[in-house]
Structures are given as C-alpha cells and as structure tokens.
Amino acid sequence: MSASSARKNRLFRPYSRMHVGIAFLLVLLLLVVGRLFWVQGLDPGGRAEAAAAQRTLVESIPAVRGEITDSRGTVLARTLQRYDITVDQSAVAAVTVPHKDGSTETVTPTQAVYKIADALGMKDTDVKAALDGDKSFNYVARGVTPEQYNALRELNLPYIYGQPTFQRSYPDGSLGGSVVGFLGGDNQALGGIEQTQDSLLRGTDGERRFEISGDGVRIPVAPQEQKAAENGSNVKLSLDSDVQFFAEQAVRERAKQLKAEWGTAVVMDVKTGKVLALADTSSVDPNVPGKADAADLGSRAVTQAVEPGSTEKIATVAGALDRGIVSPTTEITVPPYLQIGSEKITDAFDHGTQNRTAAGIIADSMNTGTVIMGSKMDKQARHDNLANFGVGSATGIELPGESTGILAPADQWDPRQEYTVLFGQGVSQTPLRTASIFQAVANKGRQIEPRLVDSVTAPDGTVTTPERPEPKQVLSESAAQQTLDIMENVVTQGGAKEAAVPGYRVGGKTGTAEAPSESGGYEGYTTSFVGVAPMEDPQYLVAVTMQRPQGDVHTLGVTSTFSTIMSQVLHHFNVAPSTTTGPKLDMQVPQNVDRGVTPTNALEQTWPQPGRDESQD
Amino acid sequence: MSSATSASHPSSGDPSGRGADGRRPLSVVPRRAARRSRVSTVVMCTLALAAALVGILLLNIQITQGQYQLTELTGQQRALSQENEALTQDIEANSAPQNLAARANDLGMVPAKDVGSIQLGTGDVTAPSAPAEKTDAQNILVPPAQMKGSDAAEANRIAAEERAEKRAKEEADKKTAQRKAAQKADESRDLNGGSIPAPSQRAPGQ
C-alpha cells in the first residue's frame, strides 16, 4: 500500500473497522484499569483489610502477675507456670505413636486413658469422661505442673494439647489468707490485697500478630508484630509472716478455749501505723478459696464492726485530759451506781461510794466514774472527741469491705446512749479502728491511719512507696503521755495484771462489751484488750478481740493472749528490755470521800480544774 | 585461555626477531615458568575451591550443630527453670511458719518462756531468763497450705493430719483413763455396806 493511497483512504474513510475495534478495546482496557484502580487503589469496600484480617492471627502473650511478699521478702503469693490440657475428642482413635528409640506402638483410646491418668495423677474415670464425645475442644485437666505436662508429652498422643497458663500459689495458705486475698476461677481478683492492688499486680498482656495461609501454616515472609507483655509489679506488705503466725496461733488457742464465735488480733507499728499482722481465728486458704466459709473470706478486724466496750474509755479519758477537764490524779467521788433520770448506770463489780482518781477509775474500768468525767464534755464534744479519733469513718486500709462502724450524730443519741458512748456502748467500730485510737495515744497524739502496702516494685526494678497518710495530731502530746501513764497503771495496779510482759513496761486497756444480737437486743459479749509496749517509748501495739466467748464473764478476758503475742513481738523485733519503772499513780484516796455525793447528783460534783502547767510536770 | 596464549606467542615472536638486526630476542623464560605454574594454578584453584567447599561444609555443620545445641540448651534451660520453680515451691511450703512450728514440735522443741538479754556493757544476763521447760507439744492451729503441685506441701498436709489423729487418739485415751480412774475410785469408796455414798459437805472457801 502506497503512502498517498493511505492518505486518501484516511480522508475518505477516517475510521476503519480496525480502528473502531482498537478504540473499543481501549475503552474496555480503560474500564478494567479504572476498576483495578477502584479496587486496588481506592478500596472503598476495605477488601484488602478484610483479607489481611482473615490471614492475621493474634495470639495474646499473658503478663505474669506480680508477687506479694511480706516485709522480709517471704513470698505470700507467687505465679507459677502451668498447663491446661485439652483434647480434640473427634480425633480420639487408635493411633501409632513413635518412641524415642525409633520403635512405634499402637495405642488404643482405652490404653491412652490409663496412660494419661497415670501421667496427670487423675482418676481413670475422669480422664475417660473427658475424652468421650465429639467436641473438638474439651479440657482434660487445668493447671497441671510442667512435670506432669512433660510426662504427658512423652506419650506423643496427637489429639492431646497443652496450653501454657499461670497459676497463683500461696505458700502460707490460710495464714494471713484473708489479707493476701485470692483469685477466682477466671483469674479475677476477688479478695484482700489481690483485689485492691489488682491494677498493679496484673500487668498488661502483650500480643503477637502474624499471617497464616489458608491451610493454617504461618507465612514466614509476611510482616509480623510483637508487643511484649508488661509483667505485673511486685507488692511488698508491711506484714511479717512470723508475727502473723504467733498472733494467729495465740488467738486461735484462746478462741478454742473459750469456744468463741471468732477472734482477731491486730499488731501494729506505733510510729508508722504499719500493720504487722492481721490475725483471724479462721481464714480462707487462697489456694482453694472455694472451700472457705463466706465469713472467712475477709479480715474480720477490718470488716466487722463491734461495740468496743471499755477500750473506748481511753478515748474518753484522753479527750477529758486534752480538754483540761481532769488530770490523772484528779479525785472524783464515785457512788455505787448512777441514776440519770430513768437510766441506771452500774459497774461490773460491786462497790460502795469511793473516792477515786481518774487513773483509778480507768484502772478498774468503772463505767460510773468514766461517765462522771466524760459528762463534763457536752454531747457534741463527746461526739467530736470520738469522731476526732476516727470513730465512724474508715481507716482506708488497702483491704476490701472495710466497715466504717456507726457513730450516730449527737442530736440523734437517746438519753442512755449519750452516756454509754463514753464507755463504748451504743457506738460500733472495727477492731482496727480501736487499735488506731491507741496508736494515736502511743504516738504522742499523732494518729497515722493503718496501712498494709510497704512498697511496689515495677518489673524494671523501680521501687515506689505509696503515699503514706499524713499524721494527724488528734491529742496534745502531754495529754497523750498522761493517757499512757493511766494505761500503764491498768496493767500494774488495775484489772489487767495478766497483760504484763516480763522484762518490759506495758500498758493497755481491757474491754468487755455486750454484743448486739442479730435478732435484736444483746447476746453474749465482745471481749478485748489493746495495749502498747515498751511504755518508755511505745513501738508496738497489739489489739486482741474475741466475739461471743462462752463461759463466765469474769474469765473471758484476752489479756493473757495479749501478753503472749506482745512478748513474741518484742523479742522478734529485738526490743531492749525496759530499764525504768513506770509512774505509780494513786488509785483511791479514801479519806477524801465526799459524803454528799449520791447516785442522782454525782454528775453535778465539781473538782478543781487541773492547771496546764501542773499536768505537764 | 592458556592454550590461546601459547598458540599466539610463536607467531608474534618470530617476525619481531627476524626484522631486527642483531637484536637480542626477548627472553621467554618467564613464559616457561608460567607454563609450569599453569598446572599448579589449576591445582591451587581446585584446592582453594575444595578448601572453600570443605570450609563452608564445616561451617554449615558447625551452625547446624550449634542450632541443635541451642535447641537442646533452650530445652534444658526451660526444664531447669521449671525444676527451680518446683523446688522453690517446696522450700516455701516447708518454710511456712505453721509447718516450721509443727516440725519443731516434732523434734521436741518448746517455745521459750522467759527470754533473757545480755547487757553488752557488763556482760550480765538480765532477768527474766530461765531454761525452757518440757511441755506437751503445742497444738498448731494454723493448717498447712493446700498448695497444688508441690510434693512438700502435700507431705506437710499429711503430717498435719497424722498429728491431729495422734492428738485425738491421745485425748481419747486420756479420757478413757480418767473415766476408769474415776470408776475405780468410786468402787473403792467405802459405802459402809450400802450403795449410796454419804453426802459430802463443801469446805468453806471452795
């Protein structure tokens, strides 16, 4: 074809059939390219993502839960490597398994059951039940040890799988179990420190992302991401497991003797408010929380509010001393009983009209004398005095379910209650709060709310100390010292001589309260003793409480239990024996009895106000 | 390559020797030397190749062996750390205060009653200090932990159960003995021929 004829052709027939065809194909190509760009480039339907998601497998890397240790580093809760054993029931059949020496053996399902049972230390019937069925996933055993898992792996059974998991282990068991706490079946923290410090202990799970092909094989060249797990922090408590043991053993022995409903002991460091032991007569073994009674799951010193009884007289006398109403040697004439309107207030022992010092009133735990002293504070002041010591509010200790106790507002008190609160009836508080009142007295009037967590160690080794509560001056230093003197006379001259610890000066106060019954009224008693030692510079506090002990009211005391625990505590912490002797305060001054005082007018008697200067000498 | 150079040399060397008058032809000694070294080059190359191959082979074997060793050591490490974990658990089970106290009791140890202290200045032992007295074994009321997966914990639990059984048996024996003694005392009482004991008066102060 010549060039001119081609030009001519083009002039006359500008679009040949071929051109049209090419143009048509070009348009088609454009459509395909456009579509390709639409699908690949723009991807409005998210197909690529969906495909990637289908390929991508996300495996979680569980974080290891932190340890809980006592103040000396003894582990109270630890995380152990364990395996969950699962079976693909649909694949259970006679299989030929290779041995290490190259030989093979055919294992029937029945043989397999016996072998698995042997390896895991389980009952044959349980294993058989787990293997029977047509589920593709079923648990055979949970939390087996690496040893058992290795024995099982040597069986080479293709339908048995092991999944690594963790198990919490508590070496001390029920010793301090309610304080340490426990985890539920799904590793949910359900009690004690485990629950309150869960966010620190738990850590953050990591994850591993990788792509798998259609047949489930990992694609080696595909991108993979790995986010390492961040393990939980270790929590160190101020608890001392040896002290915890002494306290639990002592309180359990006494509770057994007295057939008490329950008992608790609190051991505290006076200077810091750190709790060294929170003993219970029975408590949960965190290894098997399901076997425990519901009442044993919490620490009763924190969860149970009881009427404190006579231990509250220390708060009353401290308030009276602080307000300059009395001094330890102020003489008050105490009639055999008090008649205030229709209310009669008596003592636990019979006596005639006596002239007692303030110290003598507390030493023999006289309700009458305490009321005479305390009634010099008006109703609101009595309420404020208790509230100042924290009665009616929680301590904020790191344990779940703390009870605040009940301190009714002063204007809601009935005519009896306004006097009974002075000796600890008609008001309720936890044994821990009672201990906290004595801590304030023994620490120069500075109350530090009790705490259990000493420090937290992050996985990278950084140690943080939780912010400690601010000391609160609830009492003047001189009033605190005078209260201590009175407490020491309770042990040296008063009704708690059994509380003495040989070699050391101790002071404290007994308490016997009627225990409110659940069905209304009162039933049984709550007996207690709270004391501190050594008196020249109080360092440790022990508070023992016994709920509804059986027997005669005069033999239900826990002073000897206090002495046992305090003696162990002082020796355990190498406290030097006392070299001084305490002040010996007069208990009674019989010659100064005011004969004009009767049960009805006793509250009206007055005495010279102690001078501030004199009281500090 | 070597054959090509040997072929070209005579043809290119001859015209230059012929055209120059009295000029000394260029020495060919090095060529002879080169020809001799040709064989050794081949041998050398072959040897080098063989050496490289052997080297790579050895290296590969080394790496593979290292891999095997790594796997084995990793397995060993895991086994050891798991063993370590199990042993730690056993130690912790044995050193739990209640188990220690119970074992001390089994050995006949008793709690110290009066603990003296030494005055460093004078060397005196201050009261109260007295040797401990032999008493009945303390009844440890804190039960051992029901820890799973530790033989030591299991052993402690069994020991505690045995102690409790023994104690219960002893108490039962004691009660039986007491009852028998009371019975015997009853029988030996002089009833003056009758069967009802005479009324006894409580002494004052009792």
**Separation in Å, CA of B74 to nearest CA in chain A:** 15
| Residues of chain B found within 8 Å of residue A78, distances taken between Cβ atoms | 88-89, 92
Q: CA A127 to CA A133: how far, in whole Å?
A: 12
The region of weakest confidence among A20-24, A242-246, A428-432, B137-141 is B137-141
Question: Fold for domain A241-454+465-602?
Answer: Beta-lactamase (3.40.710)
Contact, A438 vs A314, CB < 8 A? yes
The region of weakest confidence among A102-106, A127-131, A213-217 is A213-217
Does one domain contain both B103 and B152? no
Residue A218 confidence (pLDDT) above 80: no
For residue B24, being part of any structural domain is answered with no
How many domains does chain B fold into?
A: 2
| Residues of chain B found within 8 Å of residue A285, distances taken between Cβ atoms | 143, 145-146
**Separation in Å, CA of A135 to nearest CA in chain B:** 28
Residue B7 confidence (pLDDT) above 60: no
Residue A164 confidence (pLDDT) above 60: yes
Residue B162 confidence (pLDDT) above 60: yes
- Expressed as residue numbers, the domain containing B180 is 148-187
Backbone angles phi, psi at A441, to 5 degrees: -65, -40
Residue A397 confidence (pLDDT) above 50: yes
For residue B77, being part of any structural domain is answered with yes
| Residues of chain A found within 8 Å of residue B114, distances taken between Cβ atoms | 502-503
CA count, 13 A, side-chain hemisphere, A304: 24
Section A194-215 average pLDDT: 85
Contact, A562 vs A531, CB < 8 A? yes
How high is the pLDDT of residue A281?
92
**Separation in Å, CA of B136 to nearest CA in chain A:** 14
List, for residues A366-384, the tens digit of each pLDDT value.
999 999 999 999 999 999 9
- Shared fold status for A81-167 and A241-454+465-602: no
| Residues of chain B found within 8 Å of residue A174, distances taken between Cβ atoms | 142-143, 145
Residue B4 confidence (pLDDT) above 50: no
Q: CA B121 to CA B98: how far, in whole Å?
A: 37
Section B86-111 average pLDDT: 90
Residue A45 confidence (pLDDT) above 90: no
How high is the pLDDT of residue A220?
65
**Separation in Å, CA of A183 to nearest CA in chain B:** 14
**Separation in Å, CA of A536 to nearest CA in chain B:** 18
Q: CA A242 to CA A568: how far, in whole Å?
A: 10
CB distance B146–A285 less than 8 Å? Answer: yes
For residue B83, being part of any structural domain is answered with yes
β-pairing, A446-447 vs A472-473, is antiparallel
Of A212, A207, A117, A203, give the one whose Cα is nearest residue A155. Answer: A117
How high is the pLDDT of residue A440?
95
CB distance B147–A502 less than 8 Å? Answer: no
List, in order, residues 6 or more apart from A351 with CB less than 8 Å away: A334, A336
Candidates A78, A79, A172, partner chain B, best to mutate (most B CBs within 10 A): A172
Tokens of A154: 């040597």
Q: How confident is the model at residue A13 (pLDDT cuts 50, 70, 90)?
A: low
For the structural domain made of A81-167, what CATH number should be given? Answer: 3.30.70
Q: Is B135 exposed, middle or buried (0-12, 13-18, 19+ CB in 10 A)?
A: exposed
The region of weakest confidence among A447-456, A469-478, B127-136 is B127-136
Section B153-179 average pLDDT: 91
**Separation in Å, CA of A121 to nearest CA in chain B:** 11
Amino acid sitting at position A163: Q
β-pairing, A331-334 vs A354-357, is antiparallel
Q: How far is CA A281 from CA A287, A535, A557, in A?
A: 18, 28, 16
Contact, A440 vs A231, CB < 8 A? no
How high is the pLDDT of residue A596?
85
List, for residues A68-83, the tens digit of each pLDDT value.
999 999 999 999 888 8
- From the CB of residue A53, how many other CB atoms can be counted at a distance below 10 Å? 10
How high is the pLDDT of residue B11?
45
Does one domain contain both B50 and B100? yes
How high is the pLDDT of residue A380?
93
Residue A320 confidence (pLDDT) above 80: yes
For residue B6, being part of any structural domain is answered with no
Highest mean pLDDT among A147-151, A211-215, A275-279: A275-279
DSSP H helix total and E strand total for chain A: 20, 23
How high is the pLDDT of residue B203?
60
Q: How confident is the model at residue B10 (pLDDT cuts 50, 70, 90)?
A: very low
For residue B176, being part of any structural domain is answered with yes
How high is the pLDDT of residue A302?
94
Residue A100 confidence (pLDDT) above 80: no
Q: How confident is the model at residue A1 (pLDDT cuts 50, 70, 90)?
A: very low
Q: How confident is the model at residue B31 (pLDDT cuts 50, 70, 90)?
A: low
List, for residues A233-244, the tens digit of each pLDDT value.
999 999 999 999
Q: How confident is the model at residue A386 (pLDDT cuts 50, 70, 90)?
A: very high
Amino acid sitting at position A390: G
Section B164-191 average pLDDT: 86
Residue A616 confidence (pLDDT) above 50: no
Tokens of A583: 């002040």
How high is the pLDDT of residue B29?
61
Contact, A562 vs A499, CB < 8 A? yes
Q: How confident is the model at residue A272 (pLDDT cuts 50, 70, 90)?
A: very high
For residue B12, being part of any structural domain is answered with no
Percent of chain A with pLDDT over 70: 95
How many contacts, defined by CB atoms under 8 Å, are there between A and B? 105
Q: With a threshold of 0.85, tell me whether the complex ipTM lies above it.
A: no
Q: Which residue of B has its CA nearest to A284?
A: B145
For residue B192, being part of any structural domain is answered with no
**Contacts of range A613-617, beta carbons closer than 8 Å, 24 or more positions apart:** A614/A327, A615/A321, A615/A324, A615/A327, A615/A478, A615/A482, A616/A478
How high is the pLDDT of residue B37?
65
Q: Which residues of A touch B (CB under 8 A)?
A: 74-75, 78, 80-82, 143-147, 150, 167, 169-175, 241-242, 244-245, 248-249, 252-253, 256, 285, 287-288, 291, 502-503, 567, 571, 576-577
Q: CA A129 to CA A110: how far, in whole Å?
A: 12
For residue B73, being part of any structural domain is answered with yes
Choose the closest CB to B128 out of A249, A252, A503: A503
Choose the closest CB to A175 out of B98, B128, B146: B98
β-pairing, A75-87 vs A95-98, is unpaired
Q: CA A363 to CA A483: how far, in whole Å?
A: 11
Residue B206 confidence (pLDDT) above 70: no
Contact, A350 vs A375, CB < 8 A? no
**Separation in Å, CA of A608 to nearest CA in chain B:** 43
Question: How distant is the alpha carbon of residue A208 from its chain centre?
Answer: 35
CB distance A503–B93 less than 8 Å? Answer: no
Report the SS3 class of residue A90: helix
Section A158-187 average pLDDT: 88
List, for residues B103-116, the tens digit of each pLDDT value.
998 898 888 777 77
Domain end marker among B109, B137, B157: B109
Domain boundaries, chain A: 81-167, 241-454+465-602
Q: CA A305 to CA A407: how far, in whole Å?
A: 11
Is B85 at the interface with chain A, CB within 8 A?
Answer: yes
CB distance B117–A503 less than 8 Å? Answer: yes
- Per-position DSSP letters for A382-447, written without gaps between them: HHHHHHHTTTTS----SSTT----B---GGG--TTHHHHGGGT-S-BB-HHHHHHHHHHHHTTTEE
Q: Which residue of A has its CA nearest to B154?
A: A171
CB distance A245–B97 less than 8 Å? Answer: yes
Section A464-490 average pLDDT: 93
List, in order, residues 6 or more apart from A328 with CB less than 8 Å away: A321, A357, A358, A359, A482, A485, A486, A585
